[in-house]
Structure 1
Amino acid sequence: MFELENERTELLKKIEDDLERKQYAHLRDLLLPLEAADIAALCEEMDDKVPLMFRLLPKELAAEVFVELDSDEQEILIRSFSNTELKEVLDELYLDDTVDIVEEMPAIVVKRILQHSDPDTRKSINEILKYPDDSAGSIMTTEFVDLKETMTVEDALKRIRRTGPDKETINICYVIDDGRHLLGLLSIRTLLLSEEDDVIHDIMQTNIISVQTLDDQEAVARSLSKYGFLALPVVDQENRLVGIITVDDAMDVLQEEVTEDIEKMAAMLPSDKPYLKTGIFETFKARIPWLLLLMISATFTGQIISTFENALAAATILTAYIPMLMDTGGNCGSQASVSVIRGISLNEIEFSDLLQVIWKEIRVAVICGVALSAANFVKLMLVDRLLFHNQLVTIPVAAVICSTMVCTVLCAKLVGCTLPLLAKKIGFDPAVMASPFITTIVDAISLLIYFQFASAILGL
C-alpha cells in the first residue's frame, strides 16, 4: 500500500496525464510494478477510466485487481466487457472469489457470469451458494491439491506440477481415499525434503484440525488465527473433504465481523456496504430502530425525575449534578461491557466465568468509585463552594453526590459485565448489550440511587 498520501496523489497525476496524452505504453509500465490492491485503489479514483486501465494489465494481474475492486466498480467492468473479455477474467479467478462476486451482483449480471463460466465452475458455484450465509461452506474454495496415500513423493510432485497452477494454494496438500474421506495432510516443505520413493502414507500428518461445512465462519476464522494455519480443510458430516478456507478469506470474515460488532455496539443495524456507498435512506433505516427504542426507554428516566419532583424543588442544587452522575455511570458501564464483549468475541470469557468476572468488576468498581468520589468531593468544596461561591453546596449535599457516585459506579460495572454474558447465554449477540442500551439502564439506576441518598441524608 502507499505509505504516503502525496505519493498516491503524485501517481494519480501521472496516470491522468498519460490517459490524457494517450501514452498507454508508459501507463502500463507505471502500473505493472504496483500491487493489485494499490492498482485497485487507484482505479477507484478514476471513475469512467477504469475499463481502459484494466485492459492495459496482463491477465493474471487484471484478475487480481478485479478481486480487489468494490462491487460497484466490478459491475461497471463486467458491463463493459465483451463476452471474450469476461470469460478471460473468469478463467483467471479463483472459485471463492467468483462466488463472492456472484453474491454481490444484480441478477442480470449474475446470469451473464454463469453463462460464461465453464460447466465445472458453474456447478461448483451453485454448490457453494447453497450453503447458509455465515457458514464455513459459504466462504470455502474447492480449488486445492489432493493426493492419495499410496502415492510416492515423486508421484505427488508430478501431480502438484500438473494441477497446481489452477489451485488457490499448493502450500498444503490433502490426502484422501477413493471416497474423498480426509486421511491426512502434508506441506510442500515436507514433500521437498523427503526422498522421492517415500510413500505419502508414511510422511503425512494424521492429526488434522478440520471444520464442517455448517460451522460458523467467524469461529473458523478464529481457528485459523489461533493455530497460525494458512488454510483449514472443510469436511461434510461424513468427513469427506469438500473444500478449504484460506487465511485471506478468514481475514475478510474477521474484518466484517468486527465492523458488524462495532455497528451493533453503536446501536445501529449492521450494513454490508462502505459508509460512502450507503444511501441516505439505508443509513436512516439502520439507525432509526434503535434510536426509537432508546428514546422510548429514556422516558423512564424522565418518569423517575418527575416522581421526585418535590425533592428537587426542596433542594434545587441536586439538579445540577444529575448529568454528571448519569454520564459517569454510563461511561463506567460502557467500559465494563466493551471489555467483556471483546473477551467473549475472542473466546477468553465464557458464561461459566460470570462469578469471576463479577468479582473482578466489583473490586475495580470500588477502587474507581472511591477515587472518583474523592476527586469530586475536592472539586465540590474547592471549586463549586469556594471559587464560585455556591453556598448551596454544603457538606451534606456533597455527601449525597459522592455516596451516589460510589454506588452508581458499582451498579454500572455490574450491569455492564453481566448483560453481555447473559445475552450470549440466551442466544443474543453480546454486542447488542453495549453502550447505548447499558447507558439507558444505568441512567435510571443512578437516579434512583441519587434520590434515595438525598432522602436519607437531607431528609427530603
Structure 2
Amino acid sequence: MANETVLNEVARDGSLAPRVNEPVDGVMKDSFVRVPTGATAGETLRKVKTYPLDDVAASVVFVDGNGGGYAGFVRLGALVRADEETTVDQLLEGHDVRVSSGTDREQAARLLQRHDLALLPVVNESQRLVGVLRFDDAMDILEEEASEDAYWKAGVGDVLHHQDAVRSEKLTQGPIGYTLKVRMAFLLVTLAGGMMVGGVIDHFEGALEALVALAIFIPVIMDMGGNVGTQSTTIFARGLALGHIDLKQFFRVHMVRELKVAVCMGLVLATLGGIIAWAWQGAPNDIPMLGVVVGISLMFAITTACLLGFLLPWLLLKLGVDHAPGADPFITTIKDFSGLAVYFMTAAWLLPVTL
C-alpha cells in the first residue's frame, strides 16, 4: 500500500467532517495481538496461538516500535508464508494507516473500508496503540449513519432528517392512535382508489361478458404492476438511505436511469406475458390479438409502476409528507386505475368487443 498518512487524510477530507462527534474510542476493542519490533515470524505465530481471538482479531498482528509507538502491522497470511526467523520488520506495512482515539467513528469506519482492512489501529496522543476498530463494527456504524449521511449529501439538511427520525419513532414506538391516523389516511385513499378501479371494471362489464378471457388476465396486470412498484420504492428508499441517490440530480440521473430500466423490464415481461396469453387463451379461443392486448397492457402497467416507485416517494419527500406509509398506496391506486383502463380500451380497439 502506498504511504498515505490517514491522519492527514481525515483532516483534509471535508466530506467526512463530523456533524456530531462520536469518537472511535467509544467503539474500539482491545482484543488484538501486538509484538515488539524485531520479533520473528515464528515467535509471533506462537503468540497468536496463545490468544483466545476470533478470526478477525487474529488476522492482523500489530508491531510496536522501539519507543513504544505504533510501527505498523503484519498480516497473518504473511507470517504463515514467511520463514520462522524472518522478523516482523521485514513484513511490516501500514505504518501510516492509523486514526487517533478522538477521530469520529464514522470517519474511522469509512477509512477502514477505504483501505480494505479487517482491523484499523487506534492510537493516543503519544502515537501508542490503544485499540482497534473491527471491520464488523465499522459496517454497523456505516449502516447506522447511512440515513443521516444521505440527507446531508442530498442537501435536504438536518431538519428533514430529524423530522423523518421523529416520524419513524412515532410510527414504531409511539401511541397507537398516531400510527392509526397516519396509516389510515393513506389507506382511505387506497380504498377510494379501489372503488374507482371497481368503477372501471363495471364500465367495461359488457366487454367482460362478451369476452370472458379478458377477466383471466386482470390479476396478472394488477399484480405485476404492484410488484414492480414495490420493488422501485424499496430500491429508492435503500438508495436514499445509503447515499446512492442524489436528490439534486434526481430527474437528470436517477429518473432517466429508472426509465431505461422500466422500458427494458416492460418489453421483456410484456413479450413473455403476451406469448403466454396468446398460447393459453388466444389461439384456442380464436382470439389471436388477445396476446397483443395483454402485452401492451403489461408494458404500460410495468413502466408506469416502475417510474411511480421512484417519483412518488421523491414528491412526498419534497412536500414534507412521510413517504414510508404513503408511497405504496398511491402507487397501487394510480397504476391499478390507469392499467385497467388501458387494458380495456386496448381490448375494445383490437378485439371483437364493444364498450
Equivalent of 2:60, from 172, 195, 198? 172
**Could you say which residue in structure 2 is the equivalent of 1:144?**
32
- The alignment partner of 2:106 has SS state of coil
- CA contact under 8 A between 1:362 and 1:414: conserved in structure 2? no
Does structure 1 residue 325 correspond to structure 2 residue 221?
Answer: yes
Residue 338 of structure 2: aligned partner: 448
2:16 aligned partner: none
2:197 touches 2:337 (CA, 8 Å); kept in 1?
yes
The answer for unaligned runs of 5 or more in structure 1 is 1-129, 258-268, 272-280, 387-393
Is the 1:144–1:244 contact (alpha carbons within 8 Å) kept by the matching residues of 2? yes
Query: 2: CA distance between counterparts of 1:366 and 1:375?
Result: 14
- Decide whether the 8 Å contact of 1:334 with 1:439 is kept in 2: no
Look up the SS of the partner of 1:153 in the other structure: coil
1:300·1:444 contact (CA, 8 Å) conserved in 2? no
Partner SS for 1:243: strand
1:153 aligns with 2:12: no
TM-superposed CA distance for 1:365, in Å, is: 2.0
Tell me which residue corresponds to 2:105.
214
Match of 1:362 in 2: 263
SS at match of 1:359: helix
Residue 356 to residue 249, structure 1, CA distance change in 2 (3 Å): same
What is the distance in 2 between the residues matched to 1:367 and 1:213? 48
In the other structure, the counterpart of 1:302 is 194
CA distance in 2, matches of 1:327, 1:189: 52
Q: Deviations over 1:222-269 (max 9, x none)?
A: x49x94x54333579999855324456679899999xxxxxxxxxxx9
Say if 1:422 and 1:176 are closer, same or farther in 2 by CA, change over 3 A.
farther
> What are the Cα deviations for residues 382-411 of structure 1, in whole angstroms up to 9, with x where unaligned?
56x57xxxxxxx788876554222211222
- Answer yes or no: is the 8 Å Cα contact 1:377–1:402 preserved in 2: no
Q: Does 1:373 align with 2:299?
A: no
For 1:357 and 1:161, the matched residues in 2 are separated by: 54
In the alignment, residue 120 of structure 2 is paired with which amino acid? Answer: L
Give the counterpart letter for 2:341 in structure 1: F
Pair 1:311 & 2:311 matched: no
Q: What's the counterpart of residue 148 of structure 2?
A: none
Q: Map 1:50-449 onto structure 2 (within 5 A).
A: 139-146=27-34, 151-153=37-39, 165=51, 169-175=57-63, 184-187=72-75, 193=82, 200=89, 203-206=91-94, 213-215=104-106, 223=113, 227=116, 229-234=117-122, 243-246=131-134, 292=184, 295-302=187-194, 304-305=196-197, 308=200, 311-312=203-204, 315=207, 317=209, 321-334=217-230, 354=254, 355-356=256-257, 358-382=259-283, 385=285, 401-416=294-309, 418=310, 437-438=327-328, 441-449=331-339
Q: CA deviation at 1:152?
A: 2.4
**Higher alpha-carbon deviation: 397-406 or 246-255:** 246-255
C-alpha contact (below 8 Å) 2:63/2:70 kept by paired residues: yes
Pair 399,370 (structure 1): closer, same or farther in 2 beyond 3 Å:
closer
Q: Please say if residues 32 and 132 of structure 2, whose CA atoms lie closer than 8 Å, have aligned partners that are also in contact.
A: yes
What percentage of residue pairs aligned between the two structures are identical? 17
Amino acid at match of 1:451: A
Q: Write the distance in 1 (CA, Å) between the matches of 2:273 and 2:288.
A: 17
Q: Helix, strand or coil for the counterpart of 1:142? A: coil
When the two structures are aligned, how many residues end up with a matched partner? 283
Residue matched to 1:87: none
Q: Which amino acid aligns with 1:206?
A: G
2:3 counterpart residue number: none
| Residue segments in structure 2 that go unaligned for 5+ positions in a row | 1-19, 146-166
Which secondary structure state, in structure 1, belongs to the residue aligned with residue 306 of structure 2?
A: helix
Is the Cα–Cα contact under 8 Å of residues 173 and 186 in structure 1 kept in the other structure? yes
Larger deviation: 449-458 or 406-415?
449-458
Tell me the amino acid that sits aligned with residue 412 of structure 1. Answer: A
Counterparts in 2 of 1:312 and 1:207: CA distance versus 1, 3 Å: farther
Q: 1 or 2 for the larger relative contact order (CA 8 Å, sep ≥6)? A: 2
**8 A Cα contact 1:361 1:413, kept in partner:** yes
Q: Which amino acid aligns with 2:228?
A: C
C-alpha distance 325-440 of structure 1, shift in aligned 2 (>3 A): farther
In the alignment, residue 324 of structure 1 is paired with which amino acid? V
Partner of 1:24: none
- Aligned partners of 2:71 and 2:95 also within 8 Å: no
* C-alpha distance after superposition, 1:116-166 (max 9, x if no partner): xxxxxxxxxxxxxx996xx96665312334566xx32269959x959x748
* Deviation readout 1:326-378 (Å, 9 max, x if unpaired): 1121223445666788899999x766873445424422321211221232244
- Structure 1 Cα separation of the partners of residues 91 and 218 of structure 2: 71
The whole-number CA distance in structure 2 between the counterparts of 1:344 and 1:174 is 38
Q: Give the distance between the partners of 2:245 and 2:126, measured in 1 at CA.
A: 30
Asked whether the equivalents of residues 147 and 156 of structure 1 are also in contact (C-alpha less than 8 Å), the reply is no
Letter in 2 for 1:141: K
How far the C-alpha of 1:441 sits from its partner, in A, is 0.7
**Is contact 2:266-2:303 (8 Å) kept?**
yes
Structure 1 residue aligned with 2:152: none
User: What's the secondary structure of 2:30's corresponding residue?
Assistant: coil
Distance 1:242 1:358 in 2: 51
Looking at structure 1, the residues matched to 295 and 76 of structure 2 have their Cα atoms a distance apart, in angstroms, of: 66
